[in-house]
Chain A
Amino acid sequence: MAKKIENAKNSIAEVLELPKEIILDLPKITMIGSIQLYIENHKGIVEYSKERIRINSKVGIIRIIGKKMIIKNIVSEEIVITGEIINIEFI
């Protein structure tokens, strides 16, 4: 049932050309080179250290591996991470 609603949402978003991250409540990840990372629509931090950050989202945990990473700022919708980003994974 839930999957059906999800599919309907997706097709509505496609037909109306609405931003999917809002309709589907998905995280929107934007990177600037490998030095900065924006994540919109996150669901909180799971783990935070200089080498590894794990962030919760609708589609699962996003794991960011890097060096000297800091959270530039964080609000309920958005998180900005700077540092040397090496790897991003969905797990």
Chain B
Amino acid sequence: MLIIRLWNYFRGYVIIRIEGLTLERFINLAAINNVYLWDIERYDYTTLEAKVSLKGVKELREIILKAGCRLNIISKEGLPFLLSRLRKRKMLAIGFVLVIGVIFFLTSFIWNIEINSTGDLNEEELIEYLNKEGIKIGIKKSIIEEEELKINILEKFEDIAYVNINIKGTNLVIELKERSYITEDETIDKNKPCNIVASKKGIIEKTIAKNGNVVVEKGEIVEKGQLLITGIVQNDLEENILLVHANGEILARTYYTNTIKEPIVKEIQEETGEKYFSREIKIGNKSIHLKNGDIPFENYIEYIDDKEKGFYSIIPFDVITHEYREVKNKTIKQNVDSLKESLNVIITQKTMKEIPENSQVVSKDIEFETEDNFLIAKIQLELIEDIGKIEYIKEELYDKPEEDIEENEEE
């Protein structure tokens, strides 16, 4: 039946009202003459309403005469009538076309630049660079040459190992992967002779020299800057001096201390739940703050509803909501034992972040002290870490012997 309905809708139909005394006769005549009537509804003894196709209406004229009724067309329904009605309303059609046009037009621009990076890359720098290249919010999509931009970014930013640029709708999505340095620090010039010196105080645990001569022993206490592996190699037999790029690991026991202070009696701000709102209307750079009287709180925290608007940021009109939450200052005395426990966790986590990555913790010692109103936590970590640091040898000092070597070799 739905198909018939649809068919009728596309073909167009009329709702007719028949008035007369012999309505049953009219219906029968219509049925016999193959005029399809539907939704026949009797209103009262002399009137009924029915739906009939456009073609059927013409055929009904004869039947009406035979049955002695009167026919009124109440309304015309269906697609053909709808179209003819729309034809009269030109502005509507123009508006429709215009809306579609505007949507097409607007979607041909970039309205949002999204940078997805894995590391802590300086995104602002990249955005600045993109802006300089002419890629900013509001440019046409067709301007962007993805391949070229990719190459440019890779050339400009050495830290970026991989770039993928995607245009998704009106979003420009830049995916980045930072270069990770697995190998040794590239800033070290391997051809330059150097010494390894201590970067901090410590007790030597183990020495592994890959190049150069170790000048310290296990158990020795070294000061900061003390020579550990020398790059000046002297042969016992010959008195020539050879300069090498010293390399090796010096593992030493070092100590690391850290303290944090936490007041036992603490003043905190507690929200009371009372709120006060005000609105600020922003037009361009100017703003009007609409306030309904003064803020009725003595102490409060202000929250500004400052959300990222993306596309709408172009419109120089904005309503900012300020929210004021009333707070009460409260002094609370904290339980020393639980404070100690929490400080223990905090200081350990904090210190673990600060210590060098490849070090090994041998022991941990935390002490607590109370002083006036404060609880002081002191942590001492015993670490085993590589304390070696490269120090280049000034070659000028040894220039002469080197020449000698060459001469010797020639001989």
Chain A interface (Cβ within 8 Å of chain B)? 44-50, 70-76, 79
Contacts and interface: CB of A to CB of B under 8 A. Distances in A.
B3 to A, nearest CB: 13
A74 B41 contact: no
B398 interface: no
B28 interface: yes
B36 interface: yes
Given A45-B24, A48-B23, A73 B38 contact: yes
Contacts of B37: 71, 73-74
Interface of B: 23-24, 27-28, 30-32, 34, 36-42, 45, 48
Given A70-B41, A74-B37, 20 more contacts: A44-B31, A45-B24, A45-B28, A48-B24, A48-B48, A49-B42, A50-B41, A50-B42, A70-B40, A71-B40, A72-B38, A72-B39, A73-B37, A73-B38, A73-B39, A74-B38, A75-B31, A75-B36, A76-B34, A79-B31
5 contacts: A44-B24, A70-B40, A72-B39, A73-B38, A73-B40
Given A48-B42, A49-B42, A73 B28 contact: no
A44 B33 CA distance: 12
Nearest to B26: A45
Contact of B27 (A49, A72, A74): A74
A75 B164 CA distance: 67
Contacts of B39: 70-73
A71 B49 CA distance: 11
Interface centre among A46, A71, A76 (most CB of B within 10 A): A71
Given A70-B40, A71-B40, A76 B32 contact: yes
B31 A74 contact: yes
Given A49-B42, A70-B41, A70-B42, A75 B34 contact: yes
A89 B157 CA distance: 92
Contacts of B36: 73, 75
Contacts of A75: 31, 34, 36
Given A73-B37, A73-B38, A74-B40, A45 B32 contact: no
B53 to A, nearest CB: 12
A71 B39 CA distance: 6
Given A50-B42, A70-B40, A45 B34 contact: no
A48 B38 contact: no
A41 B38 CA distance: 18
A79 to B, nearest CB: 8
A71 B23 CA distance: 13
A48 B24 CA distance: 7
Contacts of A70: 39-42
Nearest to A56: B28
Contacts of A74: 27, 30-31, 37-38, 40
A49 B42 CA distance: 6
Contacts of B40: 48, 70-74
Contacts of B45: 49
Nearest to A73: B38
